[in-house]
Amino acid sequence: MSNSPEAAEPSLYERLGGVYSIADVVDDFIDRIMDDPQLNANPKVDEAHHRVSRAGFKYLVTEMVCWATGGPQQYTGRSMKDSHQDLDITAAEWQVFLNDFQQTLDKFDVPDAERQELFAIVDSTKADIVIG
């Protein structure tokens, strides 16, 4: 058929390997940020990191990344603004967070194209997370 559609471009979710691969990456990254002394130097972040369950936090972030990359999951947690606005996260802390993210992506050998798309997604949330 001359009109048959081209095969659809695989979503970022599919290119990352779906929920099992994404959950592995989130597992490493959340351990990294929850244990990062530079982030826990912010007393509000330190308090929240020790109040919430690590497994629950990983669950919500996995859900969110799957949803944001085009997977079938729905994100059921609070908005980025609601969950971060009282934490007083500075631009310097945001850089530390991005550096931790980079280290996780290095560990899992995430290719450049996928890495850039993930950074674009992360960057799109900055205004809701960092104090202005």
**Residues of this chain that bind ligand HEM (CB under 6 A):** 33, 39, 45, 48-49, 52, 60-61, 64, 77-78, 83-84, 87, 89, 93-94, 97, 122, 125, 129
Least distance to ligand HEM from the beta carbon of 92, Å? 11
Considering the complex, state which of residue 78 and residue 107 has its C-beta at the smaller distance from ligand HEM: 78
**3-state secondary structure (DSSP) of residue 58:** helix
- In the complex with ligand HEM, the residue whose CB is nearer, 52 or 113, is 52
Q: For residues 81 and 107, give the distance between their C-alpha atoms in angstroms, rounded to a whole number.
A: 29
Residue 40 tokens, joined: 């826990």
In the complex, what is the shortest distance from the CB of residue 38 to ligand HEM, in angstroms, rounded to a whole number?
Answer: 9
Report the candidate in 30, 7, 12 with the shortest Cα–Cα distance to residue 104.
30
Distance between the two ends of the chain, CA-based, in angstroms? 55
